[in-house]
Amino acid sequence: MILEESDWGVWLGEAEGDPKTLLRSPREVILRMWPVSRNVNTAANNGPDLLEPLNESAQHGLALR
């Protein structure tokens, strides 16, 4: 679930409103996704290179899971 900042008070019970009404899709596209190396699956790996998108040749053969 992604809460917009304006909804935080309702979610935390600090403002009037029904928290169930916050269970909706975000108003704008705020998430992006792209294939990355399988190296992200190992906690020992760490570095900015893990966020780099795979090039098309490296993506070949990857199955979405």
CA pair distance 49, 2, nearest whole angstrom: 26
Please report which confidence band the pLDDT of residue 55 belongs to, taking 50, 70 and 90 as the band edges.
Answer: confident
| pLDDT tens-place string over residues 8-41 | 999 999 999 999 999 888 777 777 778 888 899 9
Nearest to 58 by CA among 39, 43, 42: 39
